[in-house]
Chains A and B, each alone.
Chain A
Amino acid sequence: MSEISEHKILFGWEEIKKSLLTCIWFMFLTFPIMVIQVNTIHRTVEWRWERLFFVGAGAFLLSFLWRYMIRRKEAGIKREETAQNTHQDLLQRLLSNPRFSRPALAVAVLFFLTFPLVFSLYQIDIMTTALIYVVVALGLNIVVGLAGLLDLGYVAFFAVGAYTYALLNVHFQLGFWICLPIGGALGFLFGVLLGFPVLRLRGDYLAIVTLGFGEIIRLVLENWNEFSFGPSGIANIPRPGFMGMDLALHQNHTYIYYLMVGLTVFTIFVVRRLQDSRIGRAWTALREDEIACQAMGINKTRTKLSAFAIGATWAGMGGVVFAAKTTFINPASFTIWESVIILCCVVLGGMGSIIGVVAGALVLKLLPEYFRAFSEYRMLVFGTVLVLMMVFRPSGLISSVRRVYRFEGRNKLEGQP
Chain B
Amino acid sequence: MKAVLTVTQLTKTFGGLHALDGVDLTIGRNEIVALIGPNGAGKTTLFNCLTGVYIPTGGSVEITSPEGHTTRLNGLKPDKVTSLGMARTFQNIRLFQNMTVLENVMIGRHCRMHAGIPGAILRNARTRREEKAVIDDSYRILENFQLDRYVNEFAKNLPYGAQRRLEIARAMATEPFLLLLDEPAAGMNAQETKDLDDLIVRLRNKEEISILLIEHDMKLVTSLSDRIFVVDYGRKIAEGTPAEVCCNPVVIKAYLGEEIDA
**A270 — nearest CB in chain B belongs to which residue?**
B121
Instruction: Give CA–CA (A270, B121) in the complex, Å.
Output: 6
Question: What bracket does the count of chain A residues touching chain B fall in?
Answer: 35 or more
Query: A417 in the interface, Cβ–Cβ < 8 Å?
Result: yes
Q: Which of A86, A270, A293 touches B152 (beta carbons < 8 Å)? A: A86
Stretch from B31-39, B87-95, B204-212 contacting the other chain: B87-95
Say whether B153 faces chain A, with CB atoms less than 8 Å apart. Answer: yes
The interface bits of chain A over 292-314 (1 if a CB of B lies within 8 angstroms of the residue's CB, else 0) are: 11111111100000100010000
- For the complex, is A122 an interface residue (Cβ under 8 Å from B)? no
- Asked if A350 lies at the interface with its beta carbon under 8 angstroms from chain B, I say no
Q: Which of A280, A282, A300, A402 is within 8 Å of B100, CB to CB?
A: A402
List 12 additional A-B contacts (Cβ < 8 Å) besides A292-B96, A293-B107.
A85-B154, A278-B120, A280-B120, A281-B103, A291-B90, A292-B94, A294-B53, A295-B94, A299-B77, A404-B152, A415-B150, A417-B149
Whether the pair B153, A415 counts as a contact (CB closer than 8 A) is yes
Of the residues B87, B127, B134, contact of A295 by C-beta under 8 Å: B87
- Interface flag for B51 (CB, 8 Å): yes
Beta-carbon contact of B96 and A284 below 8 Å: yes
Instruction: Give A288 to B155 CA distance when docked, in angstroms.
Output: 11
Given A274-B121, A402-B100, are A297 and B152 neighbors across the interface (CB < 8 Å)?
A: no
Contact with A along B108-132 (1 / 0, CB 8 A): 1011110111011101000100110
Which one, A289, A291, A306, A407, contacts B53 given CB within 8 A?
A291
Q: Which chain A residue has the least Cβ–Cβ distance from B112?
A: A297
**In the complex, what residue of chain A is closest to B140 when comparing beta carbons?**
A410
B59 at the interface (CB under 8 A from A): no
Q: Could you list which residues of chain B lie within 8 angstroms of chain A, going by C-beta atoms?
A: 51, 53, 77-79, 82-83, 87-88, 90, 94-100, 102-103, 106-108, 110-113, 115-117, 119-121, 123, 127, 130-131, 134-135, 139, 148-154, 157, 170-171, 174
Measured between alpha carbons, how far is A277 from B96 in the docked complex, in Å? 16
User: Are the C-beta atoms of A402 and B150 separated by less than 8 Å?
Assistant: no
Q: Nearest 9 pairs between A and B by C-beta? A: A297-B111, A277-B120, A297-B82, A292-B94, A288-B96, A294-B78, A413-B149, A297-B83, A404-B152
Given contacts A279-B116, A281-B103, contact A415 B96 (CB under 8 A): no
Contact B102–A296 (Cβ < 8 Å): no
A residues in contact with B94, CB < 8 Å: 289, 291-292, 295
Residues 250-288 of A, flagged 1 when their CB comes within 8 A of B and 0 if not, give 000000000000000000001001100111111011001
Q: Quick one: given A274-B121, A284-B99, A296-B170, are A411 and B110 in contact (CB under 8 Å)?
A: no
Identity of the chain A residue whose Cβ is nearest the Cβ of B134 in the assembled complex: A278
* Given A281-B110, A282-B110, A405-B151, A292-B99 contact (CB < 8 Å): no
Q: How far is the CB of A371 from chain B (nearest CB, A)?
A: 35
Contacting pair B117 A407 (CB below 8 A): no
- Say yes or no: is A114 at the interface (Cβ < 8 Å to chain B): no
* Contact, CB under 8 Å: B99 / A277: no
Are A294 and B79 in contact (CB-based, < 8 A)?
Answer: yes
Residues in A lying within 8 Å of B, measured CB to CB = 81, 83-86, 270, 273-274, 277-282, 284-285, 288-289, 291-300, 306, 310, 402-405, 407, 410-413, 415-417
A273, A282, A295, A412 interface centre (most CB from chain B within 10 Å): A295
Residues in B with CB closer than 8 Å to A402 are 98-100, 103, 152, 154
A407-B139 CB under 8 A given contacts A292-B94, A402-B99: yes
Q: Give bound CA distance, A161 to B255, whole Å.
A: 65
Given A277-B120, A407-B139, A415-B153, check contact A298 B95 (CB 8 Å).
no
Nearest-CB residue, chain B, relative to A271: B121
Q: Give the residues in chain B near A281, CB-CB below 8 Å.
A: 99, 103, 106-107, 110
In the bound complex, CA of A112 to CA of B170 (Å):
44
Q: Say which residue of A278, A412, A413 sits within 8 Å of B115 (CB atoms).
A: A278
Bound Cα distance A277, B131 (Å): 8
Given A273-B120, A411-B151, A292-B95 contact (CB < 8 Å)? yes
Q: Within 8 Å CB of A274, what residues of B?
A: 117, 120-121
The residue on A at minimum CB distance from B158 is A417
Residues of A within 8 A of B116 (CB): 279
25 residue pairs bridging A and B, Cβ less than 8 Å apart? A274-B120, A278-B113, A278-B119, A279-B120, A281-B107, A282-B110, A288-B97, A288-B99, A289-B94, A289-B97, A291-B53, A295-B53, A296-B79, A297-B112, A298-B110, A300-B79, A306-B117, A402-B103, A402-B152, A403-B100, A405-B100, A405-B139, A411-B148, A413-B149, A415-B152
Chain A residues positioned under 8 Å from B148 (CB to CB): 407, 410-411
Could you say which of B112, B116, B117, B174 has the most chain A C-beta atoms within 10 Å of its C-beta? B117
Specify which chain A residues have a CB less than 8 angstroms from the CB of B102 in the assembled complex: 405
